[in-house]
Amino acid sequence: MAFFRPRVSREAEVRYHADQEISRSFPELLEKARQAEQTLRELRAAAADEIELLAAGRAFDETLTEALRAAEAGQRATFGVKSYDDRIARRKAKATPAGAMWTAEVDRLRTLREENRMWGIPRVPRPVPATR
């Protein structure tokens, strides 16, 4: 007796392999984000002006976003190729130790990015154009 086992779509396979490639750069991107965070903390400790803090905060946000994208790709790749087409397979994969580890890492990075966007990037008033 043959059982019908649906194959995954070609699009899911392509996305899976693309996510595997993107997730390989996660450790380097995370290290860049740590360095950007360290630079931001050093500038805050040195009481730098707001323009320098703004540039450092934005740089940290950009590196953190890149690391988050790589972590999300790693999470999807860890879930497996079936999870791209099947939400139940995705949910089951989240319950595995590797899936839970990637989910926690993604949540941690999202929280860190949100915190930086709310409090880490100073609000600098925009210059008002002269009217005459």
Note the pLDDT tens digit of each residue in 96-122. Answer: 999 999 999 999 999 999 999 898 888
The pair of three-digit structure tokens given for residue 61, joined into one six-digit string: 């946000």
Q: pTM for the full model?
A: 0.85
Rounded distance between C-alpha atoms, residue 132 and residue 127, angstroms: 16
Rounded distance between C-alpha atoms, residue 104 and residue 106, angstroms: 5
Note the pLDDT tens digit of each residue in 11-61. Answer: 989 999 999 999 999 999 999 999 999 999 999 999 888 889 999 999 999
Rounded distance between C-alpha atoms, residue 65 and residue 72, angstroms: 10
Task: Select the more confidently predicted residue: 27 or 8.
Answer: 27
